[in-house]
Structure 1
Amino acid sequence: MSPGHTGSGGEYQLLNGWKDIAAFFGKDERTVKRWEKLRGMPVQRMPGTKGTVFADRHALAAWLNMRGTQPGLDVRVLPRVHSGLNGARPSGEVHEPSMAARDLYLEGTYLWQKRTRASLTEAVAVLEKAVGLDPDYAQAHTALAVAHKLAGEYGATTQKLGYIRALDAVERAIALDPALDQAQTALANIEFFWLLQYDRALRRFEHARRLNPNSALTRHWFAEALLFAGYPREALAEIDQAQHLDPQSRSIISAKAYILFALGQMDTSEQMLLKLASNEPDYQMAYKGLAYLCLARGDGARYLEFLGRLESLHPSKAAREIIEAGRKGLSAGARTGMAEAMLSAARRHAETGEVPAYSLAHLFALNNDASGAAAHLQLALERYEGDVFDFIIDPAFRQVRTTPQFLKRVTQIGLPLVA
């Protein structure tokens, strides 16, 4: 979408030029230019032009919310996620979608539940057809929001683009039906993991759960938010309910294994993840969880083995070289040698962008470099990388997580602090 283009809802997705950006904030152009220079306000420049800027309105809202409301800002700059908490269903008859739109909705829901890059790409296409056929179909807009969010998480698109499109779709769903529990759930997930509005997101999850206590998606995503907010026992209660409601969901099983890992129940977590990896060999979350678990146990060889399996699902020359360097380092100098060798290999690829910022943060943490870990964690957040919250459970961060310099940096960028 080019700068200045409007979506079907009539609102700008991108703001074109300093005048529009300033109007978005209710400020003058000089002020917003100063914010870009001194406060890191996210704007972009058109290639091949001089001074022509544009900015995504959701990214500006997220930047604002990450830093707290600035004095004197017009409240209209906040995103439209403040609607829908009262759960009041619009007056009038319940909308009945067309049979064709319903069939597309059901197909798209099946596809996003598979959670692979290919299935999520297809789910987005199918659900866009559904809402195109029936623009008043709130459930289809909600499913589209979920598909966009997961597409970013699983690498079918960028994390940033996934969240932007998910927010747009879920806003449409809530405008059509504020009492739709899955729409409130999708919005709560966006508030927690993208807009960094933790308390608001947890309240919205509770609201969605009241709307429908039997929604597996709500229980599942609420559990993940509770885990990363520092409430693993409460997270376990929610994920148990989610698994009861949807025992076949591999994402719920992996989430439960991660929660059990955070609670120190490592044997049970390992058994679940090994079984999941055996039954679902194409599912990346099982291998990542097993890598974390082996690292926590000090088993460098198996840690590297599961990283290798993860890489085989999404081949990367840089990742292969980092893993191979780790094997050589482990052979020569145990865990310390492994950590140093992996970081050295990763640095050679860092400038090309082949190594995610979170992976570098993980390796700096593995080398007990709190400053490097925090700096790359911030970079991962700025790049909208989906793994950024993992530092809360990632055993590589065990030593650096409580150091003053790490805590200070994490507080400044707005990530949650969990002991």
Structure 2
Amino acid sequence: MKLEPRYALGWSGMADAYITLAAHGGMPPTQAMPKAKAAALKAIELDPLLAEAHTSLAGVEMAYDWDCAAAEKEYSRAIELNANYATAHHWYSHCLVIMGRFPEGIGEIQQAHELDPLSMTINDFWALALYYSRDYAQAVAQFRAMADLDPSARSAASYGLVDVYEQQGDYAHALEAWRNMSLSSGKAQDAAALASAYASAGPGGYWKKRIELAQQQRSTPPLDLAKLYARQGNRDGAMALLHRAYQERSAWLNFMGCEPAFDTLRADFRFRKLAREVGVS
């Protein structure tokens, strides 16, 4: 940007880079997202008709401001400007799913897939959108299709399958997905330890070991740990981790409203209060 400070697409790309860093643990959201918003606004200032710029701004409004209503306006504007921009459809799908508008969200991610069928992030979120909508059979099918499409994505697909199977209490298939994931991650001992814990102590042993393994990975986000605690039945532990994710301004926190793992928490006044804070119900 020092060489071409009036290059709007460059500013949008910078915004997207900061959003990605915040979303995937490369930089604290409180540091990355204000930079992303400033870059997105600069891009719009330089070129108000640039779809990428409006998509970038919407990404910040959705994932950091937790304002899906504002984000939806920007996504709609981006698609109006360039209906062939796959990222606009992809991220708009996130927004719709967060708001619980699953048929529309799945429609948008399918549109993104038509535009960019080889994108693993698009294939992955298609499966996740199905999972969030509680269509577990189709989520499994999409994760498997993703693994078949690109062997390098098998680990990510297996991780997604673990999530779906754990949510259903299908430990046999969850362990199978763990074993498949370990083939590419080099952590066969973790899969074996989890299988042993389940064999010796049933679901209680599974969750104790599962949480222990997740905690050993210092990069595991508090939101992901909260899901495990919720599935284990530890409501207080799950809520403490959700509050930690709130304090860290997690880019994924507003998915708490549609995350099946948190269905057991929805009657808890602490959960309802936090959900209102991040703009979901």
Query: Normalising TM by the smaller chain, what interval?
Result: 0.7 to 0.9
* Residue matched to 1:404: 269
Alignment pair present for 1:290 and 2:161: yes
* Residue matched to 1:89: none
* Paired amino acid for 1:373: A
* Paired amino acid for 1:398: D
One of 189, 210, 215 as aligned partner of 2:59 = 189
Range with greater deviation from structure 2 (353-362 or 364-373): 353-362
State how far apart, in whole Å, the 2-side matches of 1:290 and 1:242 are.
22
* Paired amino acid for 2:81: L
* Paired amino acid for 2:204: T
Alignment pair present for 1:251 and 2:121: yes
Structure 1, unaligned stretches of length 5 or more?
1-130
Report the secondary structure of 2:130's partner residue. helix
**1:341 Cα offset (Å):** 3.8
Alignment pair present for 1:148 and 2:18: yes
In structure 2, relative to structure 1, the CA distance for the partners of 1:203 and 1:285 (3 Å cut) is: farther
* Residue matched to 2:232: 367
**1:312 Cα offset (Å):** 7.6
In structure 2, relative to structure 1, the CA distance for the partners of 1:378 and 1:329 (3 Å cut) is: same
**1:305 Cα offset (Å):** 4.8
Range with greater deviation from structure 2 (169-178 or 286-295): 286-295
* Residue matched to 1:226: 96
Provide the identity percentage.
25
**1:191 Cα offset (Å):** 0.4
* Residue matched to 1:414: 278
Q: Normalised by the size of structure 2, how large is the TM-score?
A: 0.84
Give me the CA root mean square deviation.
Answer: 3.0
* Residue matched to 2:110: 240
**1:415 Cα offset (Å):** 4.8
Structure 2, unaligned stretches of length 5 or more?
none
Alignment of 1:90-169 (within 5 A): 131-169=1-39
Alignment of 1:247-286 (within 5 A): 247-283=117-153, 285-286=156-157
State how far apart, in whole Å, the 2-side matches of 1:170 and 1:309 are.
40
* Residue matched to 1:71: none
* Paired amino acid for 1:222: Y
Is residue 254–residue 278 contact of structure 2 (8 Å, CA) maintained in 1? no
Larger radius of gyration: 1
Report the secondary structure of 1:202's partner residue. helix
* Paired amino acid for 1:335: P
State how far apart, in whole Å, the 1-side matches of 2:131 and 2:74 are.
26
Structure of higher RCO (CA pairs closer than 8 Å, 6+ residues apart): 2
Can you list the C-alpha shifts for 1:114-155, whole angstroms capped at 9, x where unaligned?
xxxxxxxxxxxxxxxxx2221111012112221222233334
Tell me the matched-pair count: 280
State how far apart, in whole Å, the 1-side matches of 2:171 and 2:279 are.
29
Can you list the C-alpha shifts for 1:383-413, whole angstroms capped at 9, x where unaligned?
24444344345443232233333223433x4
Alignment pair present for 1:391 and 2:256: yes
Is residue 134–residue 260 contact of structure 2 (8 Å, CA) maintained in 1? no
Report the secondary structure of 2:2's partner residue. helix
